[in-house]
């Protein structure tokens, strides 16, 4: 592991409250691997043998059914996935592949479950993480079921603009076809939604987004923390 990486991992909420000896023991059994882009890391339905920690690059979580595929989430450094399958000792419900060159730690799931039973700080952090994941699923369902495709896109852009400091311009950092899949629409519907939002101060060229009238866009989108605030 590179200098400084273990210190950054130690700061993650999932590991921050662990006893030092338990943290050291858990990571002694870890594997660090470098992957090129478009490599499948896990496949839905397979046993959850490892908990993954993304150190560099980005990873797409996706699901398939009946020759269809949809993007579920994108994981950026430094973050873990997929914790629930590891703790439950069940199959992965999603697949994962690298979107770019990535550096990933693999923690054996058996070691994670063992530490879960012996380290109270780690156990509490896992419970809080899983609770937050559940709430994120509820918010995603509300977003999908209560909003039109244009409203979903508008609120997505407002969230990304907020994360970028509300400067009125940012890079999407996701291909438009993946964005359409993530928002639950076709590529054609995404194009129509973008054209609709032109009238609310949104300009998108390639991956570059400009919001020239944030107040007008927010008035249309009607964001709410009960759907759009990741900390809620």
For residue 1, pLDDT over 90 is answered with no
Question: b or e along 21-32 (b: 16 or more beta carbons within 10 Å of the residue's beta carbon)?
Answer: ebbebbbeebee
| CATH number of the domain enclosing 168 | 1.10.10.10
pLDDT at 195: 96
- Judge if 104 and 56 occupy the same domain: yes
- Judge if 138 and 219 occupy the same domain: no
Mean pLDDT of 9-23: 95
Q: Which of 109, 126, 143 is the last residue of a domain?
A: 143
Domain limits at 137? 5-143
Name the token pair of 175.
């291909």
Tally of domains within the chain: 2
Residues 65-97 have pLDDT tens digits of: 999 999 999 999 999 999 999 999 999 999 999
- Judge if 32 and 85 occupy the same domain: yes
Mean pLDDT of 127-142: 95
Helix H or strand E segment including 105: strand 102-108
- Judge if 66 and 124 occupy the same domain: yes
Cis peptide upstream of residue 166 (ω within 30 degrees of 0): no
Residues 173-229 have pLDDT tens digits of: 889 999 999 999 999 999 999 999 999 999 999 999 999 999 999 999 999 999 999
- Judge if 85 and 131 occupy the same domain: yes
**DSSP track, 130-182:** HHHHHHHHHHHHHHHHHS-HHHHHHHHHHHHHHHTTS-SEEE--S-HHHHHHH
Residues 153-184 have pLDDT tens digits of: 999 999 999 999 999 999 998 899 999 999 99
């Amino acid at each position: 592991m590179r200098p400084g990486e273990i210190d950054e991992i130690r700061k993650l909420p999932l590991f921050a409250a662990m006893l030092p000896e338990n943290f050291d023991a858990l990571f002694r059994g870890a594997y660090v691997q470098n992957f090129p882009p478009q490599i499948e890391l896990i496949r839905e339905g397979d046993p959850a043998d490892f908990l993954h920690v993304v150190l560099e690059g980005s990873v797409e979580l996706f699901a398939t059914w009946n020759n269809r595929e949809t993007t579920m989430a994108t994981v950026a450094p430094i973050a873990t996935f997929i914790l629930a399958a590891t703790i439950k000792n069940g199959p992965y419900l999603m697949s994962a592949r690298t979107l770019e060159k990535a550096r990933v730690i693999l923690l054996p799931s058996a070691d994670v479950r063992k530490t879960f039973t012996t380290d109270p700080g780690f156990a509490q952090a896992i419970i809080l993480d899983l609770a937050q994941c559940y709430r994120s699923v509820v918010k995603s369902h509300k977003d999908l079921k209560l909003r039109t495709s244009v409203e979903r896109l508008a609120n997505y852009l407002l969230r990304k603009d907020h994360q970028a400091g509300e400067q009125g311009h940012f890079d999407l950092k996701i291909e438009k076809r993946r964005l359409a899949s993530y928002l639950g629409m076709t590529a054609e519907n995404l194009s129509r939604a973008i054209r609709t939002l032109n009238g609310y101060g949104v300009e998108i060229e390639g991956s570059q987004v400009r919001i020239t009238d944030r107040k007008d866009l927010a008035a249309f989108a009607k964001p709410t923390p009960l759907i759009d605030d990741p900390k809620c």
